[in-house]
Structure 1
Amino acid sequence: MKLLQKTSSKKVLTPILGLAILAPSMIPSTTYAAESVQVKSVEFVGMAAPSTPQEMAQVYSGASLHVTYTDGTVKSFPLTYKTLFKSDESINGTIAGVAIDKSGKPIMDTSVASNPVPFVSDAPDSNSLFQIEGAAPTAKGGNPLALLTHYEYITANNSGSSAYGLVPASMSLTTIDQNKSTGELAATDLKKVDFSGVDGLWIPCNGSLTPWNTHLSSEEYDADAREYEADPTKTYIGPFAKAWNQDDKAVGNPYANGYIPEVTVNADQTTTVVKHYSMGRFSHEIARVAPDMKTVIFGDDGGNTMLFMYVADTAKDLSSGTLYAAKWNQVSDDNGGMANLQWIPIGHATDAEIKSYIDKGLKFSDLFETADKDTEGFTKIKTYPSGKVEWLKVKPGMEKAAAFLEARRYGAILGATSEFNKMEGVAVNAKDNKFYIAMSYAEKSMEKDAKGSDPTDDIQIKKVKAGVTYELSLGGDQKDRDGHAINSDYVPTVMKGLVVGKDLANADSKGNMAVEDLIANPDNLSYSEELRTLFIGEDSGLHANNFVWAYNIDTHKLSRILSVPSGAEATGLQAVDNLNGFNYIMSNLQHPGDEMILPEPLKGQVDAIISQNFDNKKAGSVGYISGIPTFSQMIEWKDSDKSLSVLRDEAEAHGAAVKWNDADRSVTVTKGSHKLQVKINDGSAVIDGKTVQLPYSARIENEKTMISSSVLASFLNQ
């Protein structure tokens, strides 16, 4: 619940978190003036799915934020998508997505011998937008902000062959100018972040901003050290090491990567990077820190993965702590399933301890004995990255090394559940004590084992190929499986499906294999405490276009707020609340046109436009959704050109007549001798025979025509 805002000469108080509607009797009379207009409620109003080849080939938002005020008026604030830069663009001489070696030099793509070019990523992912205390002003004179962005991989080399995983990934630090009046963002400088001190950066997917203003990166799809030891050519370790060191004789180490890097940005725009080896090695999709600043929940991407929790010894210091893995104790198989969670301690370690094992060059065979059938003393398990049934026994004295270098295998030996599938984004709701986790494809290892061949079958949910976003309830005073107290008040205790997609038996006319107006394959998650909204980005092979959704956790309304080009993934999702008085939703797109499921001839039409828009499909895009007002701005912008009003309601309240013409989708408003005419999706209106440009095109929302508040007010009050 939130308090409604007090206004006085357009000065407003910061509201308490929440969006619940308050009855007048609940407003403290000593604080609020009776005549002031307040914000009563807000909601996102979604946009239709793209329907034309042009729409399917671009990134855009046609959504809005509706604000209902206590005087009964409703205003709509249109959302727009703004591109900061494409991944192949150069900013102050540095290509944003260029891959670099350990010396900071571009890694060259020589697949076309006559035309060597730098490897450049088309796959921007995680964003962290934030302010650094003491940073110098930008040349534009706005607020200086920092933006850290992942470049997850390179889809193809210059000859068109796959380059996935073969080239070290990278991260950029962009200096952002925030216009102090409008809030508009602009990139003014860009540098590559130096990972030379931590063995490079391996497939960084999602990431998060910590409560203490550092960035937690990720390294997903940990290479199988067992497979690498048997045949080094079966993993990306060799090509990665050769490219990183620029040495064809370089030999890699699978245990050197697969962790959480933490990046600190300094006031002079330099960065420092550490890897947190004590957080365990697995397929790190993301690490999200709880409000206590020491409890961390992870996404573990892949098949047969595990839900991990880390509790640091000291708040704001992730260099030492205890790692836990969850046991899923199922309660229901409906709606993505529900379970009580039991936490199994994996072990306690410091970063330095685990790094010492890596530096010693420990191999898989140094940690485990193996068997090829049920054998006394060996435990039968099945985990990612192997995905095969294995019989393992930890060698004496190697328990800690196994626990952190092979966290999933070790956890499975201890009895933790290793049956999650495509565990992706994580978000935290501080007020309600909730975590949210996206399971992109809730199938396969999460279904009942019909053959009875797997070592365990803890998760037995009904298949949802379109995926599920789960809610995890948190509690304190919890004990682990061994009866020891867990030193955290943010321990997940119950996990249940919250936002669920719906599969289609047959493809629709666009090729969709999941219902278009529901989520499909949720990936990135971010939560706005101010708006009480969970934002969900898709990485779907079941939707013709991937979307970003807004899910109100109080009303459970799901609204589509962004569409990215067909074949692209929506990435880099970050809800930014009230940064110097402005709200943003950071959102990128990667590999446009790469994974299209559209039928022909539509596919060919869309593909041609995507190639024009995104440099022959070699560029991803970094940007943000703008137009979301803060609570203060909802009052300040009520009748400005930044808002839209319900045309009929406002006009009739002022005694005007309103007529809708269905033939050309136009509206005519008549008041006395004055007449206003406007067409839906037209950027202009005609007032008394004269054309007037509109700040935003008129649109239909919730079956009502919306028009610029300032233009309508000017017409009605003349």
Structure 2
Amino acid sequence: MKKKSIAIALALGILAPTVHPIQAATKEVKIESVSFSGSRAPATAEEMSKPFTTATVVVKYTNGKTKKFPLTYKELFKTTDKFKMPNGETFQAGTPTDYYGDPITDKSVDGKPVHYVSDAPDANSLLRPMKDGSLYLVSHYEYDSLDNAGKPAWRRVPASMTLTKLYQNMKTGELKVTTVDKIDFSGVNGLWVPCNGSLTPWNTHLGSEEYEPDARSFEFDTPEKLSESTAHLKDFAKLYFDDEKKANPYYYGFTPEVFVSSDGMTRVVKHYSTGRRSNELMIVMPDEKTAYFGDDGEYTTLFMYVADKPRDLSAGTLYAAKFTQTSADNGGAGNLEWIKLGHATDKEIKRIIDKGIKFSDIFEVSDVPKEGFIPVKQYSGQNAKYGKVEYLKLKPGMEKAAAFLETRRYAAMLGATSEFNKMEGLTVNTKDKKLYVAIADIGKGMEKNSQDPTDHIQLSKVKAGAVYELSLRPGQNNTTGQPINSGYVASSMKALLVGEDLAQPDAYGNKANVNKIAGPDNLSFSEDYRSLFIGEDSSQHINNFVWAYNVETKKLSRILSVPAGAEATGLQAVDNRNGFSYIMSNFQHPGDELSNFAPTAVKIEDVKKAVDKTYGINQAGAVGYVHGIPNVKKLQEELKKQQQPKTQQSKKK
């Protein structure tokens, strides 16, 4: 084998078995590489209306032979599919439940009450098998796009998660649904906009609460003039608690952790010591105590949390990043410093919330420059949307409340960078100690703007976005010179993959190069495949894609296309579940905003009709996975078995 082939085999962790003496005369066959052969983009209205792939996994051997494994998409269920509740009643998978566990009713059309049904399934965590081999899947239902009257229901309607028990075919690896149950969030005041999520090293699910309601608006809005943020929160409280007076912005914007026992029972804990923000997701590093967060929206911040103890997120220290740009080329690059915001426990912060703290208890505020006040610009409620700069002054003794309840505002006051735009998913490459962060749209705060209070990031606009690579290192200090108790501190950040905006849309209406990423959102990493998986949420591609990027060969391969107008969500690369591998992948709101595309290669009305026939426009999303991914370790075992002398094989039998 050539040195290059050996390097690839080592990088993949695929080594052939030791040669038995009897085989000395024969040439040993090894696995040289495992790669993806990408799918073409869908070309007809029918192909564009459904999950589509022509991708394969190609296994190449040192004897020159190859074996191809075709990939297919398997749908587990739609959000509109019905399942039985413990009391015997049926419910639709995407229907949220209220504080009392009852399905929430949509009364938007007089005389026609129906249950709300989310069309937006998001995160998946396919848990590691229980002791008896049982498989469970935790899934998010982020929001309901439209109510029965056709009006937007986003954020107004409480959200939900389900726990699905799966049957696994031990010959093919195919998964089937056994039961679907709603997870109870009544002990933590319900669930607000659960976007992405992650699986912890200790086999629990970390959820999210995105686009946190703005406490300043909520306190100072008048009944005659409610901001969108306040109106949504009040509607949420009416539907969840049946009591508008229980609306409290400081109930939401945190990280819920879902514990699942071997018998399928669930328990939910909201972590308040990890800070409050527009949580895209929280992902824990291999040390089982350091974590990073996606902070979605405009003018947002990169945060890091270091728990006091491994596998325990109830107490820890919170940090915010300051970005110092070193290059503006090809998506940009820079160095990261970490500002300590404070240390807290869940109990401490919950106690502050339960005492009824308000925004005005934490800050003095001005809308114009004022001596002693610090200008900040950050996403919370609608402030960034309207380009507002706030002038804030911290009240005495309110450092802890500010750090953990107004995390982004406080971070900006201390000098952290609050200019990231559409910061989405994160994932970690353990072997190389790299953290990957998706920026769906390089724009707004990330562009040069001398009018902003700070202008740390000054990049050229790329609407198609980029994926950034962060180097993780031990021995780092915070900005005051204190050591950070972690071996996984991000010290630098550079663009790894950058999308390409088109000057004019192509024949299918795509506004970004169809052979490059656009609107990167979900990220997941496979150590076995040495590949970064990327799911899109883009207004630039008429069909959003799921990609595989091999960090060794630098090859980018399209492995799935979701229905036109849908967002690719729920991405999770699963290297091994009872000897089988999967790429979990959902899609939400198929058919959404297709009027923004004007293809000439197909008729847009034909695409809409085809989507509507199967899913309904903004009516149903689906939970599913990419099937046919060969398990790398099983390939190694099979090859080893094939090359054993027949005498040894017969003895094992």
Q: TM-score when scaled to structure 2?
A: 0.91
Match of 2:359 among 356, 359, 364: 364
The whole-number CA distance in structure 2 between the counterparts of 1:458 and 1:21 is 43
1:209 paired with 2:162, answer no
**What SS is found at the alignment partner of 2:435?**
strand
**Is the contact between residue 126 and residue 572 of structure 1 (CA under 8 Å) also seen in structure 2?**
yes
**What SS is found at the alignment partner of 1:250?**
helix
1:100 paired with 2:97, answer yes
Instruction: Evaluate the alpha carbon distance shift between residue 188 and residue 20 of structure 1 in structure 2; reply closer, same or farther with a 3 A threshold.
Output: closer
Quote how far apart the aligned CAs of 1:637 are. 7.8
What is the percentage of aligned positions where both structures have the same residue? 56
1:18 paired with 2:11, answer yes
Listed as ranges, the matches of 1:268-307 within 5 Å are: 268-307=263-302
The whole-number CA distance in structure 2 between the counterparts of 1:392 and 1:165 is 27
Listed as ranges, the matches of 1:599-614 within 5 Å are: 599=598, 602-614=603-615
Bigger radius of gyration among the two: 1
Listed as ranges, the matches of 1:358-437 within 5 Å are: 358-385=353-380, 386-387=383-384, 388-437=388-437
**Is the contact between residue 95 and residue 103 of structure 2 (CA under 8 Å) also seen in structure 1?**
yes
Match of 1:530 among 528, 531, 542: 528
The whole-number CA distance in structure 1 between the counterparts of 2:4 and 2:237 is 57
Quote how far apart the aligned CAs of 1:286 are. 0.5
The whole-number CA distance in structure 1 between the counterparts of 2:198 and 2:72 is 24
1:552 paired with 2:571, answer no
Quote how far apart the aligned CAs of 1:372 are. 3.0
**What SS is found at the alignment partner of 2:125?**
strand
**Is the contact between residue 550 and residue 560 of structure 1 (CA under 8 Å) also seen in structure 2?**
yes
Listed as ranges, the matches of 1:181-580 within 5 Å are: 181-231=171-221, 233-234=226-227, 235=229, 236-247=232-243, 249-385=244-380, 386-387=383-384, 388-449=388-449, 452-580=450-578
**Is the contact between residue 65 and residue 78 of structure 1 (CA under 8 Å) also seen in structure 2?**
yes
1:582 paired with 2:580, answer yes
Query: For residue 41 of structure 1, what is the aligned residue in structure 2?
Result: 33
**What SS is found at the alignment partner of 2:235?**
helix
Instruction: Evaluate the alpha carbon distance shift between residue 132 and residue 530 of structure 1 in structure 2; reply closer, same or farther with a 3 A threshold.
Output: closer
**What SS is found at the alignment partner of 1:304?**
coil
**Which residues of structure 2 form unaligned runs of 5+?**
85-89, 640-653
The whole-number CA distance in structure 2 between the counterparts of 1:530 and 1:389 is 46
**Is the contact between residue 4 and residue 38 of structure 1 (CA under 8 Å) also seen in structure 2?**
no
The whole-number CA distance in structure 1 between the counterparts of 2:526 and 2:541 is 25
| Residue-by-residue CA offset, 1:687-707 (whole Å, 9 max, x unaligned) | xxxxxxxxxxxxxxxxxxxxx
**Which residues of structure 1 form unaligned runs of 5+?**
6-14, 136-142, 639-718
Q: Which amino acid aligns with 1:194?
A: D
**Is the contact between residue 132 and residue 265 of structure 1 (CA under 8 Å) also seen in structure 2?**
no
**Is the contact between residue 18 and residue 529 of structure 1 (CA under 8 Å) also seen in structure 2?**
no
**Is the contact between residue 87 and residue 96 of structure 1 (CA under 8 Å) also seen in structure 2?**
yes
Quote how far apart the aligned CAs of 1:133 are. 2.6
Instruction: Evaluate the alpha carbon distance shift between residue 268 and residue 37 of structure 1 in structure 2; reply closer, same or farther with a 3 A threshold.
Output: same
Instruction: Evaluate the alpha carbon distance shift between residue 50 and residue 225 of structure 1 in structure 2; reply closer, same or farther with a 3 A threshold.
Output: same
**What SS is found at the alignment partner of 2:299?**
strand
Q: Which amino acid aligns with 1:245?
A: F
Q: Which amino acid aligns with 1:195?
A: F
Instruction: Evaluate the alpha carbon distance shift between residue 539 and residue 17 of structure 1 in structure 2; reply closer, same or farther with a 3 A threshold.
Output: farther
Query: For residue 115 of structure 1, what is the aligned residue in structure 2?
Result: 112
Listed as ranges, the matches of 1:23-102 within 5 Å are: 35-92=27-84, 93-102=90-99
Instruction: Evaluate the alpha carbon distance shift between residue 317 and residue 52 of structure 1 in structure 2; reply closer, same or farther with a 3 A threshold.
Output: same
**Is the contact between residue 126 and residue 573 of structure 1 (CA under 8 Å) also seen in structure 2?**
yes
Quote how far apart the aligned CAs of 1:632 are. 4.1
Match of 1:125 among 122, 127, 131: 122
| Residue-by-residue CA offset, 1:16-35 (whole Å, 9 max, x unaligned) | 9732898x9xx976899654
Quote how far apart the aligned CAs of 1:60 are. 2.1
CA RMSD of aligned residues (A): 2.3
**Is the contact between residue 14 and residue 636 of structure 2 (CA under 8 Å) also seen in structure 1?**
no
**What SS is found at the alignment partner of 1:305?**
coil
**Is the contact between residue 19 and residue 28 of structure 2 (CA under 8 Å) also seen in structure 1?**
no
**Is the contact between residue 293 and residue 304 of structure 2 (CA under 8 Å) also seen in structure 1?**
yes
Bigger mean CA offset, 72-81 vs 422-431? 72-81
Q: TM-score when scaled to structure 1?
A: 0.83
**What SS is found at the alignment partner of 1:354?**
helix
Instruction: Evaluate the alpha carbon distance shift between residue 16 and residue 269 of structure 1 in structure 2; reply closer, same or farther with a 3 A threshold.
Output: farther
| Residue-by-residue CA offset, 1:585-625 (whole Å, 9 max, x unaligned) | 00000000012233267211011011111145411000000
The whole-number CA distance in structure 2 between the counterparts of 1:194 and 1:393 is 39
The whole-number CA distance in structure 1 between the counterparts of 2:193 and 2:501 is 30
**What SS is found at the alignment partner of 2:245?**
coil
**What SS is found at the alignment partner of 2:605?**
helix
Quote how far apart the aligned CAs of 1:347 are. 0.5
| Residue-by-residue CA offset, 1:607-664 (whole Å, 9 max, x unaligned) | 10111111454110000001011124446789xxxxxxxxxxxxxxxxxxxxxxxxxx
Q: Which amino acid aligns with 1:193?
A: I
Q: Which amino acid aligns with 1:153?
A: Y
Listed as ranges, the matches of 1:557-706 within 5 Å are: 557-596=555-594, 597-599=596-598, 602-634=603-635
**Is the contact between residue 91 and residue 188 of structure 1 (CA under 8 Å) also seen in structure 2?**
no
The whole-number CA distance in structure 1 between the counterparts of 2:480 and 2:617 is 56
The whole-number CA distance in structure 2 between the counterparts of 1:177 and 1:499 is 37
**What SS is found at the alignment partner of 2:361?**
helix
Q: Which amino acid aligns with 1:406?
A: E
**What SS is found at the alignment partner of 1:365?**
helix
Q: Which amino acid aligns with 2:233?
A: I
The whole-number CA distance in structure 1 between the counterparts of 2:13 and 2:273 is 41
**Is the contact between residue 107 and residue 118 of structure 1 (CA under 8 Å) also seen in structure 2?**
yes
The whole-number CA distance in structure 2 between the counterparts of 1:190 and 1:20 is 37
The whole-number CA distance in structure 2 between the counterparts of 1:560 and 1:587 is 14
| Residue-by-residue CA offset, 1:443-471 (whole Å, 9 max, x unaligned) | 1110111xx21100000112111001000
The whole-number CA distance in structure 1 between the counterparts of 2:54 and 2:102 is 41
Quote how far apart the aligned CAs of 1:94 are. 3.3
**What SS is found at the alignment partner of 1:287?**
strand
The whole-number CA distance in structure 2 between the counterparts of 1:634 and 1:467 is 36
| Residue-by-residue CA offset, 1:308-339 (whole Å, 9 max, x unaligned) | 00000000000000000000011001111101
Q: Which amino acid aligns with 2:551?
A: I
Query: For residue 647 of structure 2, what is the aligned residue in structure 1?
Result: none
Instruction: Evaluate the alpha carbon distance shift between residue 308 and residue 17 of structure 1 in structure 2; reply closer, same or farther with a 3 A threshold.
Output: farther
Query: For residue 161 of structure 1, what is the aligned residue in structure 2?
Result: 151
Quote how far apart the aligned CAs of 1:159 are. 1.5
**What SS is found at the alignment partner of 2:193?**
coil
Quote how far apart the aligned CAs of 1:181 are. 1.5
**What SS is found at the alignment partner of 2:438?**
strand
| Residue-by-residue CA offset, 1:131-157 (whole Å, 9 max, x unaligned) | 35345xxxxxxx521000000000001
**Is the contact between residue 467 and residue 497 of structure 2 (CA under 8 Å) also seen in structure 1?**
yes
**Is the contact between residue 438 and residue 470 of structure 1 (CA under 8 Å) also seen in structure 2?**
yes
**Is the contact between residue 122 and residue 155 of structure 1 (CA under 8 Å) also seen in structure 2?**
yes
Q: How many residues align?
A: 617
